[in-house]
Amino acid sequence: MTRFSMKDHAVIITGASSGIGKELAFRYAKEGAWLALAARDKTRLEVVAEKCRSLGGKAISIPTDVADEKQCKNLVDKCVETYGKIDVLVNNAGITMWAYFEEVTDLKIMEKIMQVNYFGSVYCTHYSLPYIKKSKGRLVGVSSLTGKAGIPTRSGYGASKHAMAGFFDTLRVELKESGVSVTMIYPGFVSSEVRQRAMGGDGKPIGKSPVKENEVMSVEKCVDLMIPAIVSRKREVVMTLRGKLGMWLKLIVPGLVDRIALKAIRSGR
């Protein structure tokens, strides 16, 4: 894996209490980063922060619901108050769903997903941007292959991830001459807790992952692929061979991509 140094870099990571955000925080901590960690669960978040400190980094935990604009501003303010700057913002917080649209009985889940996944990224980026520009730093959006193609059972989630892609792709052009890089991350299925907390059509957590978690990408592998892309200021990274192939096939035989997506959901991997 590409070597990197985050020593004395101030990094905000949202969704840092578990999964990809947690693993990324540990990696950055080992490199001496100054971390501002955000998530809703205060207790779990502080456990991650303490581990980061033991690994050699600095870390503060800032309980944050990214769906709340004021809390996003507070996150940025606390980071700047503590470290005096922001070098990297990783927009990783997210929620998902698992239901065909016709099964949705509570449309509030569509609003909630958009508020967390899309507007949470917008809020954090808006308040961080002046500091990121000053440091000529890095903006990172953790999306999903669902942000590249339509995936059954994920209509609201896919809409939010497509929105993220449009937002950050536009920012990349706007910031082209500023020295700020924008990197979009497009994982496939990654083994984490996110699907256990996924909402069903009634808006309640489904409680059990419908994916064969032991057969999909680990968070460690996902972060292995993320870090070089962020370090090298890469435009985007599509993580799986199926995802890369799908992007090409979508241009030529889009119907086949639809069938592949449906098969992936039905097989759970």
What is the tens place of the pLDDT at every residue in 131-155? Answer: 999 999 999 999 998 888 888 888 9
CB proximity list for 137: less than 8 A, separation 6 or greater: 86, 87, 88, 89, 131, 180, 181
Q: Which residue has the higher pLDDT, 267 or 32?
A: 32
What phi and psi values does residue 10 have, to the nearest 5 degrees?
A: -90, 120
Q: What is the DSSP letter of 97?
A: B
Length of the chain: 269
What gap in Å lies between CA 31 and CA 150, rounded to an integer?
A: 37
Q: What does DSSP say about strands 58-63 and 88-91: parallel, antiparallel, or unpaired?
A: unpaired
* Predicted pLDDT at 1: 44
Quick one: residue 32, left, alpha or beta (phi over 0 = left, psi -120 to 50 = alpha)?
A: left
pLDDT at 47: 98
How many C-beta neighbours within 10 Å does residue 166 have?
12
Mark whether 157 is an active-site residue.
yes
70-84, 110-124, 142-156: least confidently modelled range: 142-156
Model confidence at 269: pLDDT above 60? no
Kindly indicate the confidence band of residue 196, based on its pLDDT and cuts at 50, 70 and 90.
low
CATH fold of 10-240 reads Rossmann fold (3.40.50)
Catalytic residue among 28, 83, 157, 186: 157
Higher-confidence residue: 51 or 2? 51
Residue 3 above 60 pLDDT? Answer: no
Residue for token pair 């033991």? 54
What is this structure's pTM?
0.90
